[in-house]
Amino acid sequence: MNSTKKNNTRHNKILVALSGGVDSAVAAALLKKQGYEVIGAYFRFFESTWKPNFQVKKIAKKLGIPLKIVDARKEFKKRVIDYFLDAYEAGLTPNPCVVCNKEMKFRLHFDLMKKYEADYVATGHYARITKQSSAFSFRKLNFRNSSKPSFFYKLLEATDKTKDQSYFLYRLSQKDLAKIIFPLGEYQKSDVKRLAKKMKLPTLESESQDICFVARNDLYTYLNKYLKSSRGNVIDASGNAVGLHRGLPFYTIGQRKGIEIGGTGPYWVAGKNIRKNELIVTDNPKNLFTKKFLVGKVNWINKGIKLPLQAKVQIRYQSKRISARIALGKSGKLIVETKKPLRAVTAGQSAVFYKGKEVLGGGTII
């Protein structure tokens, strides 16, 4: 099934998430062209969003579609920003895009979909959804109860691998996928830009940044503003204090720049001792590699997966996927053992599991 089409499109009402950028604008235009009754939706998540707010109004006017604007700043602060700051304070490196997609973007759009009695939600994500008969795929992927249900949905990577965003979507469920359309899943980014120009869509020219609510991507300034941190010792592999750190939240595993140790090195961040407020470093980059780690807060997109499982794991956005054995550990946690060592496996980040092009699920690295 084409991920951009559902049955009887001319009778379907669809809520399209607009951001002011080229991707969501083209997604809305394609759906309107296919015969959907399109409603635009824009959620204001933080203070510096006046420019996209203005832009989405121009896009909606150009497309001739109604636009719903919702102030979601309080909800965004509670569910995304507070999570982000709490994670750093606990010595973790969070993944706000994963949390935002599930807890904000899709949850709020589903709520609005119900309010306006729409049939589907669409976004400008680069990913694909297919509908699959369970009789074949459940047996192939080692699923239990292969006779039920009669079909299920699969989340797949985008055709344009350089823009693929499936990594951020592993928390979606079967219920979610049944109501989502990704119109850009089979397009190249260059084609999307060409279509926007051809349709004369008034979109923002700049691409979205890594962490949308951190001004100029200046993470140090942002964390320094909102977190209380204290200096502490930098400890090498032998247990010796070799310097002072600025505060544990300002460092992540594998980091080299910003470790202010004179005379020796270079050093890389290898760990953190939160209780003692110590930053653990190594002068041997080989110490940053591991083949075994734990994953918690797991979500399987298709719930019948049987463990242990051979799949590929991806531990950060656009990083290389590595073959791994995934087994069930204690308290529902997963034990991931990779065929090749992975560099800087970082607590708080997401480990996402793939079988070919399909996203099986994922969780948070412990």
Residue 351: both structure tokens together: 């480990």
Tokens of 85: 């700051």
Same domain as 332, residue 244: no
Is 97 one of the catalytic residues?
Answer: no
Are 66 and 95 within one domain? yes
Domain with 100, as residue range(s), is: 10-198
| CATH number of the CATH domain containing 78 | 3.40.50.620
The pLDDT of residue 50 is 60
Query: Do 99 and 235 share a domain, yes or no?
Result: no
Digits of tens for pLDDT over the chain (366 positions)?
A: 445 555 555 569 999 999 999 999 999 999 999 999 999 999 999 876 566 778 999 999 999 999 999 999 999 999 999 999 999 999 999 999 999 999 999 999 999 999 999 999 999 999 999 998 865 444 445 444 444 557 899 999 999 999 999 999 999 999 999 999 999 999 999 999 999 999 999 987 766 667 889 988 899 999 999 999 899 999 998 999 999 999 999 999 999 998 988 777 799 999 999 999 999 999 999 999 999 999 999 999 998 899 999 999 999 999 999 999 999 999 999 999 999 999 999 999 999 999 999 999 999 999
CATH code for the domain in which residue 240 is found: 2.30.30.280
Instruction: Say if 216 falls within a structural domain.
Output: no
Within a domain: 58: yes
Q: Is 248 part of any domain?
A: yes
Both 351 and 304 in one domain: the answer is: yes
Domain match, 109 and 150 both? yes
Q: Which residues contact 140 (CB under 8 A, 6 or more apart)?
A: none
Q: Is residue 205 part of a domain?
A: no
Instruction: Verify that 239 and 312 share a domain, yes or no.
Output: no
Number of domains in the chain: 3
Task: Let me know whether 24 and 173 are in one domain.
Answer: yes
What's this model's pTM, rounded to 2 decimal places?
0.91
42 and 109 share a domain? yes
Q: Identify the active-site residue in 30, 81, 92, 100.
A: 100
User: Which residue, of 283, 305, 324, is where some domain finishes?
Assistant: 283
Catalytic residue among 212, 223, 235, 360: 212
Same domain, 270 and 138: no
Closest CA to 233 of 287, 262, 273: 273
CB of 37 closer than 8 Å to CB of 13 = yes
* CATH number for 357: 2.40.30.10
The answer to whether residues 62 and 189 belong to one domain is yes
One-letter amino acid for residue 78 of the chain: K
On whether both 54 and 159 belong to a single domain, the answer is: yes
- Quick one: 183 and 54 in the same domain? yes
- Predicted local distance difference test score (pLDDT) of residue 139: 44
What token pair was written down for 333?
A: 């946690």
Please, are residues 339 and 324 in contact by the beta-carbon 8 Å criterion? yes
